[in-house]
Structure formats: C-alpha cells, structure tokens
Amino acid sequence: MRFTILFAFLLASCASSAAVDSEAQTGGESSDQSSLVECVRTGCGGQICTEFGNEIMTTCEFRPEHACYREAVCERQPNGECGFTDTPELRACLASPPSVE
C-alpha cells in the first residue's frame, strides 16, 4: 500500500512540473536564447536534459546507455530545446554502451 501511495505521489509531482508554461520559465521576458533558463540533468540517473524548474523523477532502472549521458553535454540545442549535444563520442557510446556490472 505504501508503494502505491509513493508511486501516485511521484506521478503527480511529474505531471505538475511538466505543466509549467513557457512564460513562467522565462520570467515573462522575450524567448530569445539569452533569456531562457539553463538546462539541467534530471531523472534518477541523470539521463534526461531539461530546463531548470522542469526536473522530473524517473524510475531508477539503470540501462547501459544511461552511462553514456554521464559525460554528455546537457545544453540548449539549436531548436531552442534543452537536450544532450550530439557528438561522435555520444553516438559511439550509444551504439555500443558499456556493460552493466
């Protein structure tokens, strides 16, 4: 029963953080790149890159490819969204992720 309540709480907190509108994220200023909030790592293993204030909790299931994001750069992408920057190193790691011990 406790697990069900904890799970429901986690789902509710994830849904509420995703509902923040873009004006609140930028403080009501124009949405040019300089006024956008910083990008941060989130999720149990840091495998998600999102705007500060939109952090979420994920299940703590470690997958081999999650290790690839430890060294990846979490930053604003050309499309204006936060994400991990695609590099040859990240692509190579994702193509052949390290084994889970």
Mean pLDDT, rounded, of the chain: 75
> Does any domain span residue 77?
yes
Residue 86 in any domain: the answer is yes
Domain of residue 66: give its range.
35-101
Q: What are phi and psi of 50, to 5 degrees?
A: -145, 175
Please list the residues that pair with 50 across neighbouring strands: 40
Higher pLDDT, 67 or 24: 67
Residue 29 lies in a domain: no
The pLDDT score that the predictor gives to residue 100 is 73
Copy the structure tokens of residue 53. 């204030």
Of residues 5 and 67, which shows the higher confidence score? 67
The angle at the Cα of 27, spanning 22 to 31, to the nearest 5 degrees, equals: 55
Quick one: CA dihedral 12, 54, 80, 65, positive or negative? Answer: negative
What pTM was computed for the model? 0.61
Q: Is residue 57 part of a domain?
A: yes
Asked if residue 5 is part of any domain, the answer here is no
Residue 14 lies in a domain: no
In a domain, 2, yes or no: no
Region 25-31 average pLDDT: 44
Residue 13 lies in a domain: no
Number of domains, the chain? 1
